[in-house]
Amino acid sequence: MDEMFQMLFGRSLWALTEIWLAVAYVASMFVVITFRPQRVGHRDLFRWSYLAFGLYLVLPAIADAILWLGTLDTGAGYPRRGLVEPAWGSMPARVLVSILARCLLAVSICLGLASLASGSADRPQPPGEQ
């Protein structure tokens, strides 16, 4: 019973943590770009950060659609899969996509922090611009 409880709530706790990490990333990046845009030192890293986050959001849905279409009935006498029963043959691919999506979230957070770490607000201003 304890193993089942741990399995069910351990997974939901990880999913909840992942959701809150994504929400915190989006909120903090919007706050920085709205109130302190001068903190963004490397605009390219900032853009790559948002690109990685967009891929994090889109990749699982696209991969799931491709895997679902790949397991549909082809009409060639193979048993119907995909709509009636889960396609167990695509489970490793789903796990791989899930791991890749989580890595994209981590990369987007790291790129976002790296773009802010060397912001222009910390650099000394030349004497003519002060």
Domain ranges of the chain: 2-120
pLDDT-derived band of residue 38, with 50, 70 and 90 as boundaries?
Answer: confident
pLDDT-derived band of residue 81, with 50, 70 and 90 as boundaries?
Answer: low
What residue has token string 């709509």? 83
pLDDT-derived band of residue 118, with 50, 70 and 90 as boundaries?
Answer: low
Contacts by residues 16-24 (CB-CB < 8 Å, ≥ 24 positions apart): 18/102, 18/105, 21/105, 21/109, 22/53, 22/56, 22/57, 22/105
Of 118 and 65, the one with more pLDDT: 65
**Distance in angstroms (rounded) separating the CA atoms of residues 42 and 53:** 17
Q: What is the pTM of this model?
A: 0.69
pLDDT-derived band of residue 51, with 50, 70 and 90 as boundaries?
Answer: very high
